[in-house]
A and B are shown apart, each in its own frame.
Chain A
Amino acid sequence: MSEMTIPPDILVTGGKTFTHVNDDVSAPLERWPTWKWWVCFAVALSCLGTGVILASDMFMTGLGVLGLNEPVGWGCFIVNFVFWVGIGHAGTLISAILFLFRQKWRTGINRSAEAMTIFAVMTALLFPLIHTGRPWYAAIWLLPYPNQRELWVNFRSPLLWDVFAVSTYFTISLLFWYVGLIPDFASVRDRAKNKVRKLVYTLLSMGWRGSNRNWSHYEVAYLLLAGLSTPLVLSVHSVVSFDFAVSNIPGWHTTIFPPYFVAGAIFSGFAMVVTLLVIVREVFNLKDYITINHLEKMNKIIMTTGMMVGYAYACEFFIAWYSGNPYEAFTFTNRAFGPYWWAYWIMTSCNVIIPQVFWWKKMRTNVGVMFVVSLFVNIGMWFERFVITVTSLHRDFLPSSWAYYTPTWYDWGITIGAMGFFFTFFLLFCRVFPVVAMAEVKGVMAHGNHVSKEKGVA
């Protein structure tokens, strides 16, 4: 019989056994960090510290220390918010959607990706709070709690929808991630020699015994949570895009935003995953679990979503002309050739042009190239949100109110502080939680699988 069989992907290389998986993945948790980790951590902490000091000054003095003005009421902080929420979507896509599509290769990367989501959403949640004029009230008044004054929030406002969407997203992602971690915590617990370590992981693993019952509950819970998370990948960033789309400013008021933002979110999220994993696999010696294969697949997704984003740019320009709406047409010409042309061209080259290198297999399997490309993609996506937010605001309907927005040291410092916040958490994660989903990887390994042994697949 001449059967064309596509050999299944080799998801774990190096002839690993289950023991190897436990050893390799738990090793970073069980040893003292190297100087490399300390250097990264110090950098992340100092960025965070800068952000905290500047933000504290901002709370005491007022939002005036930023570059915001009349008409540009939203600047770097909202850009950061959208940026970080967007990044989170990749993790959920990998965890939930790829799970439902039975993409076995997700198992090597989903743990780190989901962790990235949690920390990205936490970072994002900082911004709606601190960008308000009176955050001490914003923290409570945006929540619909019953009160004596019979005051409710404005359910028609997209900012309120954000509150629900992002908090839901955070809750579900956290639960999903945690549920997936339980068997792995149990593995670490079982290996633990140190009393404190054992206690901590015992508590974290919630009494996991590895019994049939445990596993079947786990599978069902996992499936349910994956099912719940899947729509969130599409809805959360759509809701965030409504912050812009529901307003009437030219350049914001457009129905393309929900799919455009979601595509962009996945685009930048995957890029961030690639950035993180390239480093993690190198530093923690996990190249056999996070293989070039995995990275290549992610790069393909990056390129695809990048082209969707590029298509959306072209669409916007076309519609701006085709609609005959002078405000819309002006906004887009202004984006490309007005005072913010530099931001626009950074955005276009980083998002549309640079990912095209991934057409070549050699490029998308080259770790150095993909690392650089992923950084550029994130820079480009940050600038995309900057272009959307700022260029539409700074020149809208009445030319008399046009002005220019220049971010100040506080804007940049707190932006960097947010990055420090994210990386601090991620670095800590790497040291205390297993960065690869051990239980799931074992499930896709050839080892112990009689069928695959017969076919001679490792």
Chain B
Amino acid sequence: MDKQSDATFTPPRHWVSPEELTPAYWSDPGSQTLRGQEFLEKPIESLAALEKGATFELERREFLTLMGASMAMASFACARRPVEKIIPYVIKPEEVMPGVANFYASTYPGVYGGHGILVKTREGRPIKLEPNPDHPVNGSGLCAQAQAAILTMYDPDRLTGPVLVSGGSTTNASWADLDKAMGGKLRSGGKVRVLTGGISSPTTRKLIKEFLGTVSDGKHVQWEPSISPALLAAQEESYGDAKLPVYRFDRADLIVSFGSDFLGANPDQAGNLALWSKKRDLRGQKAEGARMSRLIAFEPSVTLTGANADERYALDAGDELKVALAIAHQLTVGMQQTKLAGDAPTREALRDFSPAKVAQDVGGKVTEDLIKKVAKELWENRGRSLVIGGDLLSSGADGLKLQLAINLLNSALENDGVTVDPSAHAENAGLLSGWKDFRALIQDMNSGSVDVLIIQGVNPVYHLGKATGFAAALGKVKMAVRVGDRVDETGAACHYVAPEHHFLENWGDHEPRAGVLTLQQPTIHPLHDTRGFQDMLLAWAGKKGTWHEYLQDSWKSVHSTHGRGQGFEEFWMDSLQKGVVGTISGKESGGRHFRTYSLRSLMSGRTAKGEGLKLALYRKVALGDGAGAQANNGWLQELPDPVTTVTWDNHFNVAPALAQKMKLAQNDVVRVSAEDGTALELPVLVQPGMPENTVSVAVGYGRTRVGSVGTGVGGDAFGFVKTDADGIPIFSGQKIKMEKLGWRYELALTQGHHRTLDRPIVNDITLNEYRKEPGAEMHTNPELRPKEVANIWPLHEYAGYRWGMSVDQTACTGCGACVIACQAENNIPIVGRARVRMSREMQWIRIDRYYSGTDDAPDLVFQPMMCQHCENAPCETVCPVLATSHTDEGLNDMTYNRCVGTRYCQNNCPYKVRRFNFFDHWKDYRGSINLAWNPDVTVRSRGVMEKCTFCIQRINEGKVKSRIEGRKVNDGEIQTACQQTCPTNAITFGNVNDPTSKVSKLRADARGFKAIEELNTKPSITYLSKVRNKEQGATDHV
């Protein structure tokens, strides 16, 4: 056909459109090019290439041409769209159906082996991450950071090719240049060091070893900042063998935490939430003998873990050690229990830490009775209790000692091997020696003997760069190559930045637990001119073959153990499809012998508390360390912190009593300075529950080079970190001074008022009350469950399906994963700090957080609030154009194209769950970010109201699928985005007309109530009361 020319033109016999009958169509160079490119590969390149008319080869991981619409989305401003020709498939690629998603199992990488994900791809590009139900650690859900990771792949600030860095500016380079430079340097005979974060991929570690085998002096340093070095050092001292324990929260009936945020800012958050909530699920139990685990938290700031604790005691930074030792004292000396009761070194170490003395020292909420009570309770729960600590908050000067104390307690209580499982993690010797190796590396760097340094996966210049001395030492390295996705603080101080694939573009494997392996597979051809880190190493080692081939080759050994009679190809395909190979062993590993001699450092006795303010550092749930690409992720920056509801900035948390004493109001800017002169100026947040003499601040802010979204947000608190004589960083407990500067900075909070004022919004009861009376209500005015609410109108009838939801407030921890999942699924824009201040945030779910009790010891309850899909919806009656209406399946629909934006519906909604588009937010999305949109959901223009739709696109998809298969939708088949990602399964969604569905049963649960039911809106969402396992006999607040 293409050989036609004008002169000899004969129209084709079969044609698709009238244009094909004209000679012009066939001779038109534009359409010729397009026809030759039916299967394009790189969405970004194709935009440019289509102009040039280049041709591409087909690769195995082929994907589709961007449809004309999505090309237009990525490239147009607000002018008329350019005329483009769309050529439909003549031969459709296998497996690809436009409009139908394909799911691929992969892994979201993390230091503890990552989490299993299913990547939802549409037309060849990933748009959403879901939890892989087959993954043994996080089968139930994904955390907020994982949900947001999809946006980072499409980040327009990613490097599109290698760059050469010199004198603070960057110039584009080619891979050939870099390879040549590397080749030269690597063979020069000097020291070659590869510095990475904790690598959970056994094959990658193997490859790095092989790579270093090709040079004369090579070493791999795995420096993982999120694992406390004190923890590992203490494991070594107490048990003779540094092992990273797995905490089996599902085996613990009592957990005592010393500043640990295991439910919040933790790389294994989703896994921990899943385990912990298993022991607290009241939905499967009868009320009378209901059992729940108990969590007691001692912490110097208000973390998500503390917020969800059954009992929480604030203490000043640095006091955790004393309390832990006092408990140990009470157990061994006071109660004469545990096998260490008669042990002389133990008694010697604990001599000075009697509960009375410690209570006097620590003061505040920590009393002698409390310590004794906790000790007694721990003893009663021995073998199924867990003492944990070691996050930044409790990593002070006494960090190592605290870990020793915790080991002592766990061993004495026979928890070791049961709830503290040291053999459950896969062996990674390099990870365990990380800090020591890191210090040795810095020494080598300082001596100028390091020729080549490859840095991947960590940002050591930003992250503790000053404290560790890395930043200064980097300048002495002859050739520093930063492998990352952008020129960050570390990259700017290196010589080259080699951009690597995003995890969704790369192969890999991971080992989350001993005996379990997961695979990571690319779900899209790389967007930019990037290479996988492993491919770089192969190239620089001069080896042939790709990382994919290397991985497959390495997995032949996995095949031999797990192969089970399959051929390798079949086994490989099966593993890729499932994503997970192997299971977690259910065995308890048996307690290790505790070396009491390790307590010798404690024998120096108690140090006095000291006057003045102390500082505590912590990680925020949304950003974690903030050292990676998360800081440039708008979704994460705008995720309201569960406890403070602050977006976009960090701040100093100050107790109300302290604020009053120093005459500080919220948003006053203060200058906090440490004894060595380090200072930071940030606004104050008055935080109920803070101890009176501690000020806490989040790390991960104050980035100087991360991209257009995250640079300059907040202030860098890492400057306050010093290292002790052993090189262990001291995060908390520093003495500080705080002075008011006289000016204000308004923090962008999403929730300004924190009390329910006794309104019937939440129900917060104790376990005792629940056992006696499952429908127990706290006092509200009016009543939480009105006896009768009159209805003068006939209700809607629901003949077929009727969708309803229930949210268990006991299971909900406020982690915010649902908020990000909803944002990813429904194309919800971010609005920026200024507009959050004006109260215009767009997320469809907000997690309301209410305090009860006193300001210095509050209880917190979280309530995810989204559209209640009321039967008597107040919004439906008042919309003048009927843009919002009730469906015959119980949903409150929102018709975007009919909405004229009078906002009466928003005014009339008592729950205030509607969001108005004040601007054309989509216009702010430039370049590759447009690839992240979910094509099933409209992108709203300005002037239009939006709100939660119960993921109607998923409901319709599910209904269509079941209709095709000639059956009804099964319970649990349709999952809303929020439900699917919730790690504790707090959200249940389904067909209320089906009496056997989970949601029907939960709606009838005695704990169920509706928010402000007496308004007679008849919401479709039933909330289940929050039940807290407070101590025996205690009833809740009024």
Chain A: residues with CB nearer than 8 A to chain B?
Answer: 61-64, 67-71, 73-74, 128, 131-135, 137-138, 141-142, 151-154, 156-160, 163, 243, 246-249, 326-327, 330, 393, 396-404
Of A71, A157, A400, which one neighbours B751 at CB under 8 angstroms?
Answer: A400
Give A402's nearest chain B residue, CB to CB.
Answer: B753
Of A70, A135, A163, A400, which one neighbours B916 at CB under 8 angstroms?
Answer: A70
Cα-based distance from A198 to B670 in the complex (angstroms): 76
Of A128, A152, A246, A393, which one neighbours B882 at CB under 8 angstroms?
Answer: A152
Contact B848–A159 (Cβ < 8 Å):
no
Contact B918–A163 (Cβ < 8 Å):
no
Residues of B within 8 A of A327 (CB): 759
A–B complex contacts, Cβ < 8 Å, 22 sampled: A62-B919, A62-B920, A64-B835, A64-B840, A64-B918, A64-B919, A64-B942, A68-B918, A74-B904, A135-B900, A138-B881, A142-B880, A154-B878, A154-B880, A157-B880, A159-B880, A247-B878, A247-B904, A247-B907, A398-B912, A398-B1011, A398-B1012
Contact A133–B944 (Cβ < 8 Å):
yes
The answer to whether A63 and B942 touch (CB under 8 A), given A153-B880, A157-B877, A397-B1015, is yes
Of A63, A134, A330, A400, which one neighbours B848 at CB under 8 angstroms?
Answer: A400
Residues of B within 8 A of A163 (CB): 880
Binding site of B, secondary structure by majority: helix, strand, loop or mixed?
A: loop
Specify which of A134, A138, A396 lies most central, judged by the most chain B CB atoms within 10 Å of its CB. A134
Contact A71–B839 (Cβ < 8 Å):
yes
Cα-based distance from A29 to B838 in the complex (angstroms): 51
Give B881's nearest chain A residue, CB to CB.
Answer: A141
8 nearest interchain CB pairs? A133-B901, A133-B943, A64-B918, A73-B903, A403-B839, A401-B912, A400-B848, A134-B943
Contact B901–A134 (Cβ < 8 Å):
yes
Cα-based distance from A368 to B821 in the complex (angstroms): 65
Chain B: residues with CB nearer than 8 A to chain A?
Answer: 751-759, 761, 781-782, 835, 838-841, 846, 848-850, 863, 865, 874, 877-882, 898-904, 906-908, 910-912, 914-920, 941-945, 1011-1012, 1015
**What distance in Å separates the Cβ of B934 from its nearest Cβ neighbour in chain A?**
23
Of B754, B880, B901, B918, which one neighbours A399 at CB under 8 angstroms?
Answer: B754
Contact A403–B907 (Cβ < 8 Å):
no
Contact B911–A397 (Cβ < 8 Å):
yes
**What distance in Å separates the Cβ of A51 from its nearest Cβ neighbour in chain B?**
20
Residues of A within 8 A of B944 (CB): 133-134
Contact B900–A403 (Cβ < 8 Å):
no
Give B756's nearest chain A residue, CB to CB.
Answer: A399
Cα-based distance from A455 to B673 in the complex (angstroms): 96
Contact B848–A69 (Cβ < 8 Å):
no
Contact A70–B906 (Cβ < 8 Å):
yes
The answer to whether A133 and B880 touch (CB under 8 A), given A64-B835, A398-B761, A399-B753, is no
Task: Give me 14 other A-B pairs in contact (C-beta within 8 A), A330-B757, A400-B753 excluded.
Answer: A64-B840, A70-B916, A133-B902, A134-B899, A134-B941, A135-B900, A138-B901, A154-B879, A159-B902, A247-B874, A326-B757, A326-B758, A396-B910, A399-B753
Give B863's nearest chain A residue, CB to CB.
Answer: A400
Give A243's nearest chain B residue, CB to CB.
Answer: B904
Residues of A within 8 A of B906 (CB): 70-71, 73
Cα-based distance from A249 to B907 in the complex (angstroms): 8
Contact A73–B907 (Cβ < 8 Å):
yes
Cα-based distance from A70 to B903 in the complex (angstroms): 10
**What distance in Å separates the Cβ of A455 from its nearest Cβ neighbour in chain B?**
58
Contact A247–B908 (Cβ < 8 Å):
yes
Of A248, A398, A400, which one neighbours B908 at CB under 8 angstroms?
Answer: A248
Cα-based distance from A404 to B749 in the complex (angstroms): 12
Cα-based distance from A10 to B898 in the complex (angstroms): 59
**What distance in Å separates the Cβ of A122 from its nearest Cβ neighbour in chain B?**
20
Residues of B within 8 A of A243 (CB): 904
Of B840, B849, B902, which one neighbours A131 at CB under 8 angstroms?
Answer: B902
Residues of B within 8 A of A142 (CB): 880-881, 900
Residues of A within 8 A of B943 (CB): 62-63, 132-134
Residues of B within 8 A of A73 (CB): 903-904, 906-907, 916
Cα-based distance from A243 to B781 in the complex (angstroms): 28
Cα-based distance from A137 to B899 in the complex (angstroms): 9
Contact B903–A156 (Cβ < 8 Å):
no
Of B782, B838, B880, which one neighbours A67 at CB under 8 angstroms?
Answer: B838
**What distance in Å separates the Cβ of B474 from its nearest Cβ neighbour in chain A?**
44
**What distance in Å separates the Cβ of A89 from its nearest Cβ neighbour in chain B?**
23
Residues of A within 8 A of B908 (CB): 247-249
Contact B912–A396 (Cβ < 8 Å):
yes
Contact B840–A157 (Cβ < 8 Å):
no
Cα-based distance from A274 to B846 in the complex (angstroms): 51
Contact A69–B840 (Cβ < 8 Å):
yes
Of B755, B758, B878, B900, which one neighbours A141 at CB under 8 angstroms?
Answer: B900
Specify which of B781, B882, B915 lies most central, judged by the most chain A CB atoms within 10 Å of its CB. B882
Cα-based distance from A390 to B900 in the complex (angstroms): 21
Specify which of B761, B878, B879, B941 lies most central, judged by the most chain A CB atoms within 10 Å of its CB. B878
Give B882's nearest chain A residue, CB to CB.
Answer: A154
Cα-based distance from A284 to B860 in the complex (angstroms): 70
Contact A397–B880 (Cβ < 8 Å):
no
Cα-based distance from A132 to B879 in the complex (angstroms): 12
Cα-based distance from A243 to B906 in the complex (angstroms): 13
Of B835, B849, B904, which one neighbours A157 at CB under 8 angstroms?
Answer: B904
Residues of B within 8 A of A157 (CB): 877-880, 904
Residues of B within 8 A of A74 (CB): 903-904, 907
Residues of A within 8 A of B865 (CB): 398, 400
Residues of B within 8 A of A133 (CB): 899-903, 916-917, 942-945
Contact B752–A403 (Cβ < 8 Å):
yes
Residues of A within 8 A of B1011 (CB): 398
Contact B782–A326 (Cβ < 8 Å):
yes
